[in-house]
Structure 1
Amino acid sequence: MEAHPLQPNFEYLDDDGRPRRTGTIWTSSSHIITAVIGSGVLSLAWAIAQLGWIAGPTVMILFSLITLYTSWMLTECYRSGDPLFGKRNYTYVDAVQNILGRYHYTVCALIQYICLCCSATGYSIAAAISMMEIKKTRCLHKSGGKDPCRISSNPYMIGFGVIQIFASQIPEFHETWLLSVVAAIMSFVYSIIGCFLAIYQVAVNGTFKGTVTGGSSGNVSSTEKLWGIFQALGNIAFAYSYSQILIEIQDTIKNPPSEVKTMSKATTLSTIVTTAFYMLCGCMGYAAFGEQAPGNLLTGFSSYNPSWVIDLANATIVIHLVGTYQVYAQPVYAFVEKWAAKRWPKTKVNFRVFGGYNLNLFRLVWRTLFVIIATFVAMVIPFFNDVLGFIGAIGFWPLTVYYPVEMYILQKKVPKWSRKWIWLKIISLVCFIVSVFAALGSIASIVVDLKKYRPFVTDY
C-alpha cells in the first residue's frame, strides 16, 4: 500500500521523524579524521621539539588515549536515558543541556563559542603565514638565498579577511558542505607533503636530529623552556580537539546496530589512524630540524627544490583554511542571528540584489564586522603556535574531558566514591591542571613575543 502523497512515508523516517540516517563506521571515521587533521598537525614537530624524544611521543600517545576514552563516554550521551530508544541529542550542547541542565549548557556554549572565535583568529594567522611563504620561496630562489626576504604579514591577513567577508555570506552551516569537502582534501595534501619533505630532509642530513630532553634552540632561560613545554601541551591538545562535533557526527549514523556501538568503533579507528599520522609528521619533523623545528613545519623548507612543491603545499593550506574558517565561524554566526531574530522579530532586513538574491542586511553587517575584528586581532597577535596552544588549552579540559565525564557519570548512574567514580574524577582533575599550565604557557609566550613585536610594523 502506497503512502498518501500528503502523509509522511515512515519507511524513510527515523524514530524522531527525521529522514532515515545512513551513516556507518566508515563514514563516521572519515568525518572524524578529516575534521581532526588540520593546521594543528603543522605545529607538532615544534611541540615535540619542546618536549624531547621521550616526553614528546609519550605525551602525544597519552592525549590520544584520553581523547579516545572520553570519546567513548561521550558516545553514550547521544541518547538521553535509554541507549536504544531514548531522546536523541542532535548537538554537543543539546546533550549538555538535556543531561546536566541549563546552567552547564550556558557555560559549555560560552566556552565553545570562545574557542570558535579564537579559531578564526588562529586560522587567519596560519593562512597569512602560508601566503607569505609562497612569496618568500619565490624571493629566496630568485636571489639565490642572498636576500633575507623580509615580508610583512599585514597585507596577507587583510587579503584573507576580504575573502572571508565574501565566504561568510553563505547563509547556513549545511550549505558549507562543498567548502568542507575541498578543505578535507587539501588538509591531506599539505600534511602528506610536509611529512615526505621531513623524511627527505632526514635523508639529506644522514642522521636523526633532536635530543632526549628537547628544548628551544638558542639561549633560553629555564623559565622560557618551561613555558615552551606548557605551550607544547596546548598545541598537542589542539590537534586532538574534535569532541565538540562528535555528537553531530554520531547523529548521522543508522540504527541498527546502535549508534553507540558504531560510533565507539569509529572513534577507535579514527584515533589510531590520526595518532599514527601525527606521530609520523611530528617525529619526522623533529628528526629533520631538531631544536630548530619551526612552529609551522612547512616554513622550514623555503629553500627546497623544486620550489613548486612548497608553493603547492602552502596554497593547499590557504584553500583548506578558507573552508575551515567557515566551518568554525558558522555556529557563531547562527547563534548571534538567532538571538537577533528573537530580539527584533518584526524587523525586516532583507533586500534583493543581483539576480533576485535576497541579501540579509543584518547578516551582511554582523558577519563582516566579525571577520574584521578577527583579522584585526590576528594582526595584533600574529603568533601561530601561541594562539593554537591557547585555543587547545582552554578547550581541551571542558569540552574533551569534563563534560563527557560528568554526563557519563550521570547517564550511567556511577555511584559516588566508587572506584570508577574516583578514577574518572582523577582523570578530569589531572587534565584540568594540564590545561591550566598549557594556557599559562601560551599566555606567557604571547607576552614575551609582544615585547619583541611592533604591531602593524614588524616584518618576517
Structure 2
Amino acid sequence: MVGAGVLSLPYAMAYLGWGPGAVVLVMSWCITLYTMWQMVELHECVPGIRFDRYYELGQYAFGPKLGLWVVLPQQLIVQVGCDIVYMVTGGKCLKKFLEIACPNFTKLRQSYWICISGSIHFFLSQLPNINSVAGVSLAAAVMSLSYSTISWVACLSRGPIANVSYAYKKSSPTNSMFRIFNALGQISFAFAGHGVILEIQATIPSTLEKPSKISMWKGSIVSYFITAICYFPTALVGYWAFGHDVEDNLLLALKSPEWLIASANLMVVIHVIGSYQVYAMPVFDMIERVLVKRFKLPPGLALRLIARTTYVALTLFIAVTFPFFGDLLGFFGGFAFAPNSFFLPCTIWLAIKKPKRFSISWMVNWTCIFMGLLIMFASTIGGFRNIIIDASTYHFYS
C-alpha cells in the first residue's frame, strides 16, 4: 500500500491547503479502506468459486465481455502506470543518493540514472510468479515504512524554512485550478493496493471453516494502520516544514543530515525495485496467458524471457521520455487509480449484492461512486494538462 506516492502528499497539500487537503486525505483513506473490504468479501462471494483476478470478478458482475472491458483496461493502466512512476522515482532517488554520498562523482544525465535503476528489473522480472517475489516485497515494505518515517521526522527536526508560507501558490486562476485537479490525482495515486488485492488473496489457502477473507481482512487492517502512520505525518509535517515551496518529491527537498537523507533515498530505490515486481507480476501472467492461448506460442523460458524483457524495456522507455514525477502521479491517479480504488468496487458490489434502494449500503456506495468519478475526471484533466505544460519546456532525454 505504501508507495512512492507518499512523498508527493505534501506537494498536493500545497495546492489544496490545510483544511481541504486534510479532509481529502482522510476521506480517501476511509473510502479506499471500505472498498478494499468489499474486494476481500467479493473474492469468494460465490460458494466454491474464487475470483483470483480483478477482471474475473468484473466478468461475473457485468458479463463476460462487458466485465472484461470495464475492468481489465483500468487494472492494466494502474499496474503499468505504477511501474512507470517507480522507474522515474528509482532513477531520481539513486541520483540524489550518489550526489550526497559521493559529491565528486561524475555527473550523469537524469535519463542515465533512470536506466541504471531500471536495469535490475530485466533480471528480477524472470522470477516465476508473485509468490517468488515475497522476499523482495517484504524488503520493499520495510523500506517504505523507513523512508516515509525518515522524511517526516527530518522535517520535524529541522522546523519550518525561513519565511515559510501556507498561502496558495500565486498563479493564474486557470493554472491554479488545474494544479488543484492534479493534487487530487496525487492523493488517489497514494492508495494503490486494489489493483492486485485479489491476486494476493488468491495465494492464501481457503476452507469452509476458515475462508481466505478472514486472514486477508486482518492483513488489510494492519496494512491500512501502517499506511496511516506513514501518510498523515508525511503529508502534514512535510507541508508544515516547507509550505507552498515544497517539491513534488519530499526527499529531494531535504538537505540534512546528509547521511540520513542519503539513506532514505537509497531506501526508496530498494522499495520501488520490489514494488515494481509486485505490480508487474500480474501483467506478466496476463501477457503470457494471451501469447499461449491466442497465439499458440509454447510456454517456457524463451517466452518468459522475450515477453517480460519487452515489457520492462517499454516501461523504461516511457519513464525516460516523461520523467515528470508529480504530473505522472496526478494523471495516473485520476485516470486509473480513482476507478480501481474508489468507485469500481462499489459498482461491482451493487451489481452482485443488490442492496435495497436508499438503504445505508446503497447510499454509501453511490456516494463513493460520485466522489470517485469527480476525482477521476478532475485529476485526469489536470495531470494531462500539466504534463503538456512541463513537456513544452523540457529537453527530452536530458
**Equivalent-residue separation in structure 2 for 1:55 and 1:407 (angstroms):** 29
**Equivalent-residue separation in structure 2 for 1:327 and 1:119 (angstroms):** 10
Unaligned runs of 5+ in 1: 1-35, 144-148, 351-359
Partner of 1:329: 280
Alignment of 1:15-164 (within 5 A): 36-81=1-46, 85-102=47-64, 103-138=66-101, 152-164=109-121
Q: Normalising by structure 2, report the TM-score.
A: 0.90
Partner of 1:25: none
The structure-2 alpha-carbon separation of the partners of 1:109 and 1:199, relative to structure 1 and needing over 3 Å to count, comes to same
Aligned partner (choices 396, 408, 412) of residue 337 of structure 2: 396
Partner of 1:233: 184
1:224-257 deviation digits (Å, cap 9, x = unpaired): 2211111111111111121223334444276646
Q: Does 1:378 align with 2:343?
A: no
Identity percentage over the alignment?
29
Q: Does 1:284 align with 2:244?
A: no
1:182-205 deviation digits (Å, cap 9, x = unpaired): 111111221121121111121x75
Larger helix proportion of the pair: 2
Alignment of 1:367-446 (within 5 A): 367-416=308-357, 420-446=361-387
Partner of 1:310: 261
Partner of 1:319: 270
Does the 8 A contact of 1:51 with 1:232 survive in 2?
Answer: yes
The structure-2 alpha-carbon separation of the partners of 1:180 and 1:264, relative to structure 1 and needing over 3 Å to count, comes to closer
1:133-160 deviation digits (Å, cap 9, x = unpaired): 1233257x679xxxxx985201111212
Which amino acid letter does the alignment assign opposite residue 395 of structure 1?
Answer: A
Does the 8 A contact of 2:136 with 2:274 survive in 1?
Answer: yes
Does the 8 A contact of 1:176 with 1:326 survive in 2?
Answer: yes
Offset, 1:130: 0.2
The structure-2 alpha-carbon separation of the partners of 1:162 and 1:402, relative to structure 1 and needing over 3 Å to count, comes to same
Aligned partner (choices 132, 157, 163) of residue 200 of structure 1: 157
**Equivalent-residue separation in structure 1 for 2:134 and 2:223 (angstroms):** 21
Does the 8 A contact of 1:238 with 1:396 survive in 2?
Answer: yes
The structure-2 alpha-carbon separation of the partners of 1:124 and 1:265, relative to structure 1 and needing over 3 Å to count, comes to closer
Which amino acid letter does the alignment assign opposite residue 191 of structure 1?
Answer: S
Aligned partner (choices 231, 240, 247) of residue 294 of structure 1: 247
**Equivalent-residue separation in structure 2 for 1:446 and 1:327 (angstroms):** 26
Which amino acid letter does the alignment assign opposite residue 153 of structure 1?
Answer: Q
Which amino acid letter does the alignment assign opposite residue 190 of structure 1?
Answer: Y
**Equivalent-residue separation in structure 1 for 2:284 and 2:215 (angstroms):** 32
Offset, 1:331: 1.5
Does the 8 A contact of 1:380 with 1:456 survive in 2?
Answer: yes
Offset, 1:422: 4.8
**Equivalent-residue separation in structure 1 for 2:283 and 2:217 (angstroms):** 29
Offset, 1:210: 4.4
Does the 8 A contact of 1:96 with 1:403 survive in 2?
Answer: no
Does the 8 A contact of 1:53 with 1:210 survive in 2?
Answer: no
Partner of 1:338: 289
The structure-2 alpha-carbon separation of the partners of 1:122 and 1:161, relative to structure 1 and needing over 3 Å to count, comes to same
**Equivalent-residue separation in structure 2 for 1:142 and 1:397 (angstroms):** 43
**Equivalent-residue separation in structure 2 for 1:322 and 1:423 (angstroms):** 37
Q: Does 1:187 align with 2:187?
A: no
**Equivalent-residue separation in structure 1 for 2:33 and 2:264 (angstroms):** 30
1:96-140 deviation digits (Å, cap 9, x = unpaired): 22233212133211211122112221111101110111233257x
Offset, 1:172: 2.2
Which amino acid letter does the alignment assign opposite residue 129 of structure 2?
Answer: E
**Equivalent-residue separation in structure 1 for 2:124 and 2:217 (angstroms):** 34
**Equivalent-residue separation in structure 2 for 1:342 and 1:254 (angstroms):** 28
Does the 8 A contact of 2:12 with 2:186 survive in 1?
Answer: yes
**Count of paired positions:** 395
**Equivalent-residue separation in structure 1 for 2:194 and 2:227 (angstroms):** 14
The structure-2 alpha-carbon separation of the partners of 1:372 and 1:266, relative to structure 1 and needing over 3 Å to count, comes to closer
Q: Does 1:246 align with 2:202?
A: no
The structure-2 alpha-carbon separation of the partners of 1:87 and 1:372, relative to structure 1 and needing over 3 Å to count, comes to closer
Aligned partner (choices 267, 274, 284) of residue 227 of structure 2: 274
Does the 8 A contact of 1:80 with 1:98 survive in 2?
Answer: no
Q: Normalising by structure 1, report the TM-score.
A: 0.79
**Equivalent-residue separation in structure 2 for 1:175 and 1:193 (angstroms):** 29
1:359-381 deviation digits (Å, cap 9, x = unpaired): x2232222222222211211211
Q: Aligned-pair RMSD on alpha carbons? A: 2.6
Moved more, 258-267 or 439-448: 258-267
The structure-2 alpha-carbon separation of the partners of 1:258 and 1:172, relative to structure 1 and needing over 3 Å to count, comes to closer
